[in-house]
């Protein structure tokens, strides 16, 4: 008999092997077998029993062993995984291996009957208050539970509008109907509050999946799911593959977040896969956000998705009042040499402190300064492995690369001219902290960024201190923008609001709009009205105005028009081909060869596709690898996918040691 086996290797989808009839009787779709592959032995997943082999059967090799006869995925899951493999042009065996942890199916010692729950899933406070839903929430829940509606839902609710409460109610109703649900969150470590809200509402029914689990913890969570004990899975992007049975709803909270995209190996977007999986299962899917991605928004206004709105904060709490400060204007500066801080902001900080409330300051830059330079010869310190400058940290004094992690001591003199007048440029959170501490010596200040928060414990400690009002000012990077519900925050300051508008990325406007809106949304979540101060070089910028809730619709209208004009997503689909090698010439030559081949095929068969590049990536070297890329744009992803499949069969590609990665619907363009 012939079996079709998907092997986790980079080349093709599956391979045919022979197996004798008696062993074949144990096998089914989803069994795991060991097979010879080239000169080695590897494992693979049975994905079919073809009648006829592609080559003469005498040339086929034999299956060596049946590792797991019981299928590790069912028919439904297989359909989904196959879709993922086709869509992302990624070998089926690798897709299956990504979705189903090896530890789960590898034979293991009997585990204890009593399955330990992860600490997150243990209810800290089982007596959670159940609110009476307000009319907007109520009608959202009703609409989602409407049986005849099969489209995905965009739950578009301003910050603090009670989206989580909507998810909880939908889930409650699903559980009553004996269905299950998946909640995808961007970074689970950053949202312990959310997990707690779920586990107190659904005690003992939650499994939690995220990347920080040890293999053992992961198996425990998987056992909770496959045994049917867990009815709800909360997790980061990989939870979209959770093997729950009878799924009624998949929720993607903060659907606009880029961390739903996996940036290596299988480059999938869990938000998009949630929509696909729900469709295949006939389940509901809810994408929630205060600042939907432009793609999702377009789907909503074109009625492919149902657009549900929660336009008000709960309990009619006011949206924060926003004030703009033009930081170009010297008269606004706090002092002659502190140009990044306005008097307006300092005055508000001082008022907040006097009133015993808390303030939050946002700056998306780690460290003390962007870089160190020599004032005599202009030399700057750059990373040896990456095409970026080293970030200057003062405490402790080091220069550090944010791409490869390399760090070194801050030098006392210039390595080129031996000059000793070294200076720094640019602003980071360390410097903000130091300056504010000197302006407000009595204020209790804490920093929330990857410099000080290394793990979940650090984060929990800081979140607790904030909740217990042990800090007055919180200075942080994007980390502070993530859905936290801190009742004490009366003031939010955004330091260089337009810094991110100039990145070479077609999503620069969108990202800035999202982060400024989200940070602003941290203000005034309890009964004290909130205030937001946005400092910017161009305070009248439409993106910033939109972020201050003056006109969201206008932002999306303008942004969509621009995307259409320049043929960017969501109107055109994009696929990025990325090339990497330690030798800059090799990668350049190879990228050019590949693009030439694609180009000639395109001209012949796919006239709608368009190729930009190849070009050196904006960050041309990372971890000693030189990087080239090319962007293929089209109105039809199918065309590119057909094209790429042809490319994979191209012998040169298989033999070349230049790494080529395919990134369908890329997020990171740098």
Q: C-beta of 527: minimal distance to ligand ADP in Å?
A: 12
Kindly indicate which of the ranges 322-330, 400-408, 410-418, 435-443 contains the residues binding Zn ion, using the contact rule CB under 5 A. 400-408
- For residue 110, give both structure tokens: 């009997």
Token reading at 19: 């197996």
Of residues 164, 159, 157, the one with CA closest to residue 193: 164
The entry of ligand ADP, Zn ion, none that residue 485 binds, CB within 5 to 8 Å by partner kind: ligand ADP
- Shorter beta-carbon distance to ligand ADP: residue 249 or 345: 249
Q: Is 320 in the site for ligand ADP (CB under 6 A)?
A: no
Helix axes 584-605 and 637-648, enclosed angle (nearest 10) = 120
The option from ligand ADP, Zn ion, none interacting with 161 (CB < 5 to 8 A, set by class) reads ligand ADP
Q: How far is CA 638 from CA 143, 239, 611, 644, in A?
A: 33, 27, 15, 10
Q: Give whichever of 157 and 367 is closer to ligand ADP, judged by the CB atom.
A: 157
How many CA atoms does the CB half-sphere of 46 hold within 13 Å?
A: 31
In angstroms, rounded to a whole number, what is the distance separating the alpha carbons of residues 508 and 511? 5
**Among 535, 332, 339, 536, which residue's Cα sits nearest to residue 431?**
339
Query: What is residue 269's DSSP assignment?
Result: B
Q: Binding of Zn ion at residue 595 (CB under 5 A)?
A: no
Single out the segment in contact with ligand ADP by CB under 6 A; choices: 97-105, 129-137, 344-352, 457-465.
Answer: 129-137
129: Cβ–Cβ under 8 A, 6 or more apart, which residues?
Answer: none
CB-hemisphere CA count at 13 Å for 47?
26
Shortest Å, Cβ 366 to Zn ion: 14
How many helices and strands, by DSSP H and E, does the chain display? 19, 29
Query: Does 526 contact ligand ADP by CB under 6 A?
Result: no
Binding footprint of Zn ion, residue count (CB under 5 A): 7
Backbone angles phi, psi at 486, to 5 degrees: -105, 110
Question: Within 13 Å and on the Cβ side, how many CA atoms surround 583?
Answer: 7
CA–CA separation, 120 and 444 (whole Å): 29
Joined together, the tokens standing for residue 90 give 């990624």
> How far, in Å, CA of 358 to CA of 206, rounded?
33
Contact call for residue 383 and Zn ion (CB under 5 A): yes
- Tokens 């936290």 -> residue: 484
In DSSP notation, 296-307 reads: HHHHHHTTSSEE
Pairing type for strands 659-664 and 573-581 reads: antiparallel
Stretch that binds ligand ADP, among 11-19, 50-58, 127-135, 235-243 (CB under 6 A): 127-135
Q: Which does 165 bind (CB under 5 to 8 A by kind): Zn ion, ligand ADP, none?
A: ligand ADP
Using rule CB under 6 A, residue 315 touches ligand ADP:
yes
Q: Examine residue 289 and tell whether it contacts ligand ADP (CB under 6 A).
A: no
In the bound state with ligand ADP, the residue whose beta carbon lies nearer, of 157 and 539, is 157
124 binds ligand ADP, rule: CB under 6 A:
no
From the list ligand ADP, Zn ion, none, partner contacted by residue 314 (C-beta under 5 to 8 A by kind): ligand ADP
Query: By rule CB under 6 A, what string of x and - marks binding of each residue 146-175 to ligand ADP?
Result: -----------x-xxxxxxx----------
Residue 361 near residue 341, CB atoms below 8 Å: no
According to the binding rule CB under 6 A, does residue 512 interact with ligand ADP?
Answer: no
Based on CB atoms, which residue is closest to ligand ADP, 67 or 314?
Answer: 314
Figure out which of the listed residues 35, 300, 386, 545 binds Zn ion, where binding follows CB under 5 A: 386
CB contact at 8 A, 160 and 250: no
The yes or no reply on residue 625 touching Zn ion (CB under 5 A) is: no
Q: Binding of ligand ADP at residue 209 (CB under 6 A)?
A: no
| Contacted by 385, from ligand ADP, Zn ion, none: CB < 5 to 8 Å by type | Zn ion
At residue 407, the 3 state secondary structure works out as: strand
Q: State phi, psi for 562 to the nearest 5 degrees.
A: -65, -45
249 contact choice in Zn ion, ligand ADP, none (CB below 5 to 8 Å, kind-dependent): none
**Is residue 403 a contact partner of residue 396, using CB atoms and an 8 Å limit?**
no
Could you tell me the smallest distance in angstroms from the CB atom of residue 255 to ligand ADP?
12
- In the list Zn ion, ligand ADP, none, the entry touching 535 (Cβ below 5 to 8 angstroms by class) is none
**440 binds Zn ion, rule: CB under 5 A:** no
385 contacts Zn ion (rule: CB under 5 A): yes
Contact 288, 251 (CB under 8 A): yes
The site string for ligand ADP over 468-507 (x = CB under 6 A, - otherwise) reads -----------------x----------------------
Q: Which residues bind ligand ADP (CB under 6 A)?
A: 131-134, 137, 157, 159-165, 314-315, 485
Q: Which residues bind Zn ion (CB under 5 A)?
A: 383, 385-386, 401, 403-404, 406
């Amino acid at each position: 008999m012939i079996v079709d086996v998907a092997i986790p290797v980079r080349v093709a989808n599956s391979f045919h092997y022979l197996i004798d009839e008696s062993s074949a009787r144990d096998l089914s779709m989803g069994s795991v077998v060991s097979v010879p592959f080239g000169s080695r032995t590897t494992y693979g997943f049975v994905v079919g029993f073809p009648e006829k082999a592609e080559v003469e059967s005498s040339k086929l090799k034999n299956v060596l062993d049946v590792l797991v006869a019981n299928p590790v995925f069912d028919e439904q899951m297989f359909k989904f995984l196959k879709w993922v493999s086709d869509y992302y042009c990624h070998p089926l065996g690798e897709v299956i291996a990504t979705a189903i942890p090896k530890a789960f199916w590898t034979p293991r010692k009997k585990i204890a009957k009593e399955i330990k729950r992860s600490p997150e899933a243990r209810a800290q406070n089982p007596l959670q208050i159940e609110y009476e839903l307000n009319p907007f929430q109520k009608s959202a829940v009703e609409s989602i539970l409407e049986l005849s509606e099969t489209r995905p839902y965009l739950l578009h609710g301003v910050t603090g509008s009670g989206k989580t409460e909507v998810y909880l109610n939908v889930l409650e109703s699903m559980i009553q109907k004996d269905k299950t649900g998946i909640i995808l969150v961007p970074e689970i470590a950053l949202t312990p509050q959310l997990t707690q809200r779920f586990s107190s509402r659904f005690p003992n029914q939650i499994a939690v999946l995220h990347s920080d689990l040890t293999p053992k913890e992961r198996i425990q969570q998987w056992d909770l799911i496959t045994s049917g004990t867990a009815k709800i899975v909360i997790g980061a992007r990989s939870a979209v593959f959770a093997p729950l049975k009878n799924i009624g709803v998949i929720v993607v909270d903060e659907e606009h977040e880029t961390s739903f995209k996996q940036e290596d190996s299988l480059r999938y977007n869990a938000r998009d896969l949630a929509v696909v999986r729900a469709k295949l299962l006939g389940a509901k899917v809810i994408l929630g956000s205060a600042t939907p991605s432009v793609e999702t928004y377009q789907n909503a206004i074109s009625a492919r998705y149902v657009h549900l709105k929660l336009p008000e904060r709960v309990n009619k709490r006011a949206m924060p009042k926003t004030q703009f400060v033009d930081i170009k204007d010297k008269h606004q500066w706090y002092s002659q040499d502190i140009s990044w801080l306005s008097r307006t902001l300092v005055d508000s900080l001082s008022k907040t402190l006097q009133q015993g409330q808390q303030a939050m300051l946002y700056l998306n830059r780690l460290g003390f300064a962007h870089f160190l330079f020599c004032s005599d010869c202009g030399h700057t310190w750059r990373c040896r492995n990456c095409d970026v400058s080293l970030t200057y940290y003062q405490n402790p004094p080091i220069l550090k690369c944010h791409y490869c992690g390399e760090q070194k001591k801050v030098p006392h003199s210039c390595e080129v001219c031996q000059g000793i007048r070294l200076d720094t440029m640019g602003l980071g959170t360390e410097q903000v902290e130091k300056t504010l501490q000197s302006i407000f010596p009595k204020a209790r200040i804490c920093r929330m960024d990857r410099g000080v928060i290394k793990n979940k414990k650090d984060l929990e400690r800081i979140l607790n201190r904030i909740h217990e009002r042990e800090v007055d000012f919180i200075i942080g990077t994007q980390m502070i923008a993530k859905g936290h519900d801190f009742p004490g925050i009366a003031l939010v300051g955004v330091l260089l609001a337009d810094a991110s508008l100039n990145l070479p990325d077609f999503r620069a406007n969108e990202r800035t709009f999202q982060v400024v809106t989200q940070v602003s949304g941290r203000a005034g979540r309890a009964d004290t009205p909130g205030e937001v101060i946005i400092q910017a070089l161009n305070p009248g910028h439409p993106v910033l105005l939109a972020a201050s809730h003056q006109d969201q619709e206008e932002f999306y209208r303008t942004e969509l028009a621009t995307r259409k004009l320049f043929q960017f997503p969501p109107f055109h689909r994009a696929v990025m081909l990325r090339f990497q090698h330690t030798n800059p010439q090799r990668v350049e030559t190879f990228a050019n060869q590949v693009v030439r081949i694609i180009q000639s095929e395109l001209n012949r068969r796919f006239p709608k596709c368009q190729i930009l590049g190849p070009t050196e990536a904006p960050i041309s070297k990372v971890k000693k690898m030189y990087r080239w890329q090319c962007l293929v744009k089209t109105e039809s992803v199918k065309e590119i996918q057909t094209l790429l499949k042809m490319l994979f069969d191209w012998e040169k590609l298989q033999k070349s040691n230049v790494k080529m990665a395919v990134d369908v619907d890329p997020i990171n363009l740098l």
